[in-house]
């Protein structure tokens, strides 16, 4: 794959990380508010960070490259405006939910609307970059699990540090987050094995082939096509050249192999040496 294509793909990686952190951390805030007794200060802080990450994701979305020949991502630019609008709606709803948290409200309907807007962002991205019905479904599945992992890890890390300023905070929120992350990581492992074994990556390319391209030679060798090989002009050589010979004294041509293996005497257990020969002569 040309270096230009790899550079263009970095913009999609940047968008995926920012969007996953924004939507995933907001989902963790909703979980912490509705199912745990996490403090309002922690939830409001994590929610504000999710809003800021959402705004950064909107900015990075505008820098995504268009369709190009040889790109590993099948880009359909007709969904760009809808995806950006959904991200803006998500950021607005996330900010409104943070305000509700600071006022001591649970606001489950507002939380559900924010989750729905985040799901719409991931769905529109999957349709635009999936390259077909099956590819869109697989890409959506991957984006959902990645979003849950990124946002969950970020929220759990912030919560773990929150105990430093609130020592009396209950352990139930952290335990619930840890259990949820265990299930998410297990799901990612299953998807990874499926991607490798079934070749369900983007465009039907097995494993990491979409990133590094085709790198195996036609003979099945695991080395790169640009790796070192003997030229054909060298002729058919079945074995490497013999050992290098070096001299022990001027005029000598004793090889290293000959020097390392001393001759054995006919006497059992005796190596040819002046002492052995003298004893044998007796």
- Which of 34, 54, 185 lies closest to 100 in space, CA to CA? 34
- Res. 151: pLDDT tops 60: yes
The pLDDT of residue 234 is: 44
Alpha helices in 163-251 (DSSP H): 172-198, 209-212
Residue 17 lies in a domain: yes
Residue 101 has pLDDT above 90, yes or no: yes
Asked if residue 150 has pLDDT above 70, the reply is: yes
Q: What is the pLDDT of residue 216?
A: 44
DSSP states of 155-172 as a string?
HHHHHHHHTTT-TT--SH
Query: In this structure, is residue 21 part of a structural domain?
Result: yes
Domain assignment present for residue 224? The answer is no
Instruction: Please give the tally of structural domains in the chain.
Output: 1
Q: Which pair of tokens denotes residue 46? A: 């994590």
Q: Provide mean pLDDT across the span 118-128.
A: 95
Using pLDDT thresholds of 50, 70 and 90, give the confidence band for residue 195: confident
- Signed CA dihedral, 195, 199, 203, 207: sign only: positive
The three-class DSSP label of residue 223 is: coil
Q: Residue 175 domain-assigned? A: yes
The burial class, CB within 10 Å (0-12 / 13-18 / 19+), for 244 is: exposed
pTM of the model: 0.67
pLDDT at 166: 81
pLDDT classification of 122: cutoffs 50, 70, 90:
very high
Per residue in 181-193, is it b (16+ CB within 10 Å) or e — as a string? beebeeeeeebee
Inter-residue contact 5 to 71 (CB < 8 Å): yes
The average pLDDT across 60-67 equals 83
Show the domain range for 187: 3-209
| Better pLDDT: 233 or 271 | 271
86, part of any domain:
yes
The percent of residues above 70 in pLDDT, for the chain, comes to: 65
Between CA 129 and CA 131 the distance in angstroms is 6
Q: Judge whether 218 lies within some domain.
A: no
Q: Is 237 contained in some domain?
A: no
Q: CB of 152 within 8 A of CB of 177?
A: yes
Check pLDDT > 70 for residue 276: no
Residue 248's pLDDT is 45
Q: Is residue 7 part of a domain?
A: yes
């Amino acid at each position: 794959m040309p270096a230009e294509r790899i550079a263009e793909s970095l913009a999609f990686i940047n968008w995926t990380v920012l969007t996953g952190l924004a939507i995933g951390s907001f989902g963790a805030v909703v979980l912490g508010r509705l199912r745990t007794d996490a403090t309002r200060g922690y939830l409001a802080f994590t929610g504000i960070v999710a809003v800021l990450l959402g705004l950064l994701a909107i900015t990075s979305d505008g820098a995504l490259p268009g369709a190009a020949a040889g790109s590993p991502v099948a880009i359909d630019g007709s969904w760009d405006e809808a995806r950006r609008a959904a991200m803006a709606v998500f950021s607005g709803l996330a900010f409104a939910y943070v305000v509700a948290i600071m006022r001591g409200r649970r606001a489950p309907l507002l939380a559900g609307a924010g989750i729905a807007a985040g799901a719409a962002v991931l769905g529109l991205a999957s349709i635009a970059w999936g390259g077909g019905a099956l590819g869109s479904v697989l890409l959506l599945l991957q984006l959902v699990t990645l979003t849950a992992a990124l946002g969950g890890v970020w929220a759990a890390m912030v919560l773990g540090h929150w105990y430093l300023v609130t020592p009396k905070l209950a352990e139930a929120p952290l335990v619930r987050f840890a259990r949820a992350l265990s299930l998410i990581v297990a799901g990612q492992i299953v998807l990874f094995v499926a991607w490798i074994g079934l070749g369900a990556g983007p465009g039907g390319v097995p494993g990491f082939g979409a990133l590094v391209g085709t790198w195996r030679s036609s003979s099945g060798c695991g080395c790169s096509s640009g790796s070192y090989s003997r030229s054909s002009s060298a002729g058919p050589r079945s074995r490497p050249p013999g050992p290098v010979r070096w001299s022990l004294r001027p005029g000598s041509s004793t090889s290293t192999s000959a020097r390392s293996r001393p001759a054995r005497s006919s006497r059992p257990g005796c190596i040819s040496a002046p002492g052995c020969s003298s004893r044998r002569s007796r």
